[in-house]
Amino acid sequence: MKNITLKEIAETLGISITTVSKALKNYPDVSPRTRQAVMNLAHQLQYTPNSFAVNLRTQESKTIGLIIPEVVHHFFSSVINGIIAEAEKNGYLVIILQSNESLELEKKQVALLLSKRVDGILMSLSNESNDDEHIREIIHKGIPFVQFDKISKLIHSSKVIINDQLAAMQAVQHLIDNGCKKIAHIRGPVNPQNAIDRFLGYKKALEKNTIPFDSSLVYTCQRVSFEEGYAFAEQIKKEHPDVDGVFVITDLVAVGVLAYFNENQIRVPDDVAVIGFSNWFMSQVITPKLSTVDQPSDEMGTRAFQLLLEQMIARRDQKPFQAQTIELKTAVVQRESTRKKS
């Protein structure tokens, strides 16, 4: 069945297209009788306004694009949840693209969203991103744009972030307060700003407590996976059997660390304390329950959409817009994997 147009309704009723359009919009200069006839026929034919044509007139698509590294990821799926819910409330649809942590794919997706003329773009960078020409193009074209979580500090745009450095410092301080003296760090890949900041927070916490920094205690993830956590835990015990605390880039990797320790009768937290980052759901159901840093993922999505909306409205109304940075609060969540050492 094909889509019905205003023209067909007009021809069927022997009136002008303008009259049909006015009738559908409830304009007062159409007689009640004509309006009723148009309404009835439109209903009968299941007329749907052509959104492409509407778009051409308003130059608004009421659609935004979201580019994220991964969907199957507790943190990102919670952010998506926040974004979709807030977009829905405001009458916007969300196109979701996944960069799979690949810079090349990310560039392609930015180009695609630009050609689709979305009203705005939300983005968390892939781990590979070390070049931001494609992002500069979004800004150069004047498309409203908000970065969240994994951001580029060099790009002037609105941002929703946490203070990764401070949060990491607090996590490591928590290990130190519980008696850890030799703390390893399983860090994220080299590019993402948040991996860099968490690493710097680890270093600063050591420094503050006059614990010498030892680069051989730092292990770098490529994929940020469960398997890497498992393998690094084994490596840590081999290379540094006296390590008594591990600060891990994210909960998924920390769960891999716990799996290795559990299977090899290394007691957590008595032999080694472990703290993760992000507060994934599974962290509260594994054994031992994982201490971590809570990061408000759903709120990050909500706030990111709100910032984008402000900018989209400013653009539509041709008003100036000032980029803003929102920093959300984090908190150390103590569970079973960290405890005061006697």
Euclidean distance between the first and the last CA atom of the chain, given in angstroms as a whole number: 76
Please give the Cα distance from 319 to 247 (Å, whole number).
Answer: 46
User: Residue 132 interacts with a second copy (CB under 8 A)?
Assistant: no
Strand partners, 332: 293
Binding segment toward a second copy, per CB under 8 A, in 63-71, 125-133, 186-194, 268-276:
63-71
CB 113 within 8 A of CB 122: no
The least distance separating a second copy from the CB of residue 60, rounded to whole angstroms, comes to 10
95 contributes a contact to a second copy by CB under 8 A: yes
Query: By CB under 8 A, is residue 52 in contact with a second copy?
Result: yes
Q: Count residues contacting a second copy (CB under 8 A)? A: 53
Applying CB under 8 A, which part among 31-39, 43-51, 120-128, 268-276 lies near a second copy?
Answer: 43-51
Question: What's the closest the beta carbon of residue 169 comes to a second copy, in angstroms?
Answer: 28
Q: How far is the CB of 177 from a second copy (least distance, A)?
A: 27
Q: Residue 63 CB, nearest distance to a second copy (Å)?
A: 7
Instruction: Indicate the residue among 113 and 206 with the shorter CB distance to a second copy.
Output: 113
How far apart, in whole angstroms, are the C-alpha atoms of residue 77 and residue 112? Answer: 22
Look up tokens 């928590």; give the residue.
174
Residue 339 is a binding residue for a second copy (CB under 8 A): no
CB of 263 to a second copy, least distance (A): 11
Helices H / strands E in the chain, number of each = 12, 12
Give the footprint of a second copy on residues 108-127 (CB under 8 A). 112, 114-117
**Residue 266 has which token pair?**
């290394």
**Residue 37, interface with a second copy (CB under 8 A)?**
no
Establish if 205 lies at the interface with a second copy (CB under 8 A).
no
Q: Which residues pair with 93 in a beta bridge?
A: 63
- Residue 292 burial (10 A CB sphere; 0-12, 13-18, 19+): buried
Among 33, 43, 72, 154, binds a second copy (CB under 8 A): 72
Question: Which residues, 6+ apart, have CB-to-CB distance to 71 below 8 Å?
Answer: 77, 80, 96, 98
CB of 157 to a second copy, least distance (A): 15
Does 88 participate in binding a second copy (rule CB under 8 A)?
Answer: yes
| Long-range residue pairs from 156-161, CB within 8 A, at least 24 positions apart, any chain | 156/323, 157/323, 158/307, 158/308, 158/311, 158/323, 158/324, 158/325, 158/326, 159/323, 159/324, 159/325, 159/326, 160/300, 160/303, 160/304, 160/307, 160/325, 160/326, 160/328, 161/325, 161/326, 161/327, 161/328
Of 8, 137, 271, 310, the residue at the interface with a second copy (CB under 8 A) is 137
With binding defined as CB under 8 A, does residue 53 bind a second copy?
yes
Whether residue 204 contacts residue 217, with contact meaning beta carbons closer than 8 Å, is answered with no
Which residues contact a second copy by CB under 8 A?
Answer: 1-3, 46, 48-53, 55-56, 59, 61, 63, 70-74, 77-78, 80-81, 84-85, 88, 93-98, 105, 112, 114-117, 137, 140-142, 226, 255, 258-259, 262, 281-282, 285-287
